[in-house]
Structure 1
């Protein structure tokens, strides 16, 4: 899935994500502490296509945590990069985007700058393990200029069986 600028086939890179998914979230209780505990919680996600596939919007409902989130993904035709833009009902604001693309191996890597607990961090989102019925997403932060990364959130996506009740 490695694409040159102006290659509109990349605009369909996220087509795998369309539809309904059960999601198992695992995240660290402190995103920067490698010794922190992991918490696990379920969610349901729905993703829809926009702009003929050059954008999509997914909403994730996390009833056990009392919040919902959304990601708006936009494909920039000139740069050949995707921007991934996250927001949560907890804050009602957009977080700084991450930018990237999928490689020939089907793995997508997306990088951007953010802050966490008052510290500047480099954020990395990775999409991998993509099939018709599964996908894996993970978030990692670096505080040392990308020399080391600490994975602090993962999501395992499983395609929902039609007719399965949400939540």
Structure 2
């Protein structure tokens, strides 16, 4: 693991999204939409920031590598929650797969959040929530990236 783990993400992307329409209400109906994204390294490669643009809203992610702890931390913010920065998820890549975990609150309920990253020429990001302390995970958002 190193500060180059997310190098695969640098550049401009088209993003195919598949997302639970009502994450807060724990809905079961999936919706699909297109977005664009651009990721670039900062701080000598020890951080990556990306911008995410969907129809009617915008998001951003900051990923920062902590060499002392040998982990990445990931923060998310969007225009859907102005002034709010989500708590960081923390994790690493092992055998070509990244797993990042954290705690948050969704719709007034404590949740564990999991991001899974599968790097490559067409990376895939998946988000899951656990409402039972990590015993089970409910997928609620998948992004498939192709170069713009």
TM-score after normalising by structure 2: 0.95
Displacement of 1:34 after TM fit? Answer: 6.6
Q: Is the contact between residue 21 and residue 27 of structure 2 (CA under 8 Å) also seen in structure 1?
A: no
1:159 aligns with 2:147: yes
Residue in 2 that maps onto 1:164:
none
Residue in 1 that maps onto 2:86:
95
1:126 aligned to 99, 103, 116, which one?
Answer: 116
Q: How does 1:16-165 map to 2 (within 5 A)?
A: 16-31=8-23, 36-63=28-55, 66-92=56-82, 93-103=84-94, 105-128=95-118, 130-131=119-120, 133-160=121-148
Q: Is the contact between residue 31 and residue 141 of structure 1 (CA under 8 Å) also seen in structure 2?
A: no
Indicate the structure with greater strand content.
2
Which structure 2 segments of 5+ residues have no match? none
Work out the number of aligned pairs and report it. Answer: 147
Runs of 4+ in 1 over 3 A off after TM superposition: 32-35
Q: Does the C-alpha gap of structure 1 residues 94 and 35 become closer, same or farther in structure 2, counting only changes over 3 Å?
A: closer
Give me the whole-angstrom Cα distance separating, in 1, the residues matched to 2:43 and 2:51. 17
Q: Is the contact between residue 46 and residue 65 of structure 2 (CA under 8 Å) also seen in structure 1?
A: yes
Deviations along 1:25-82, whole A, 9 cap, x unmatched? 111023377761000010000001001211010001102xx10000000001110110
Give me the whole-angstrom Cα distance separating, in 1, the residues matched to 2:125 and 2:61. 13
Which structure 1 segments of 5+ residues have no match? 4-9, 161-167
Give me the whole-angstrom Cα distance separating, in 1, the residues matched to 2:62 and 2:27. 32
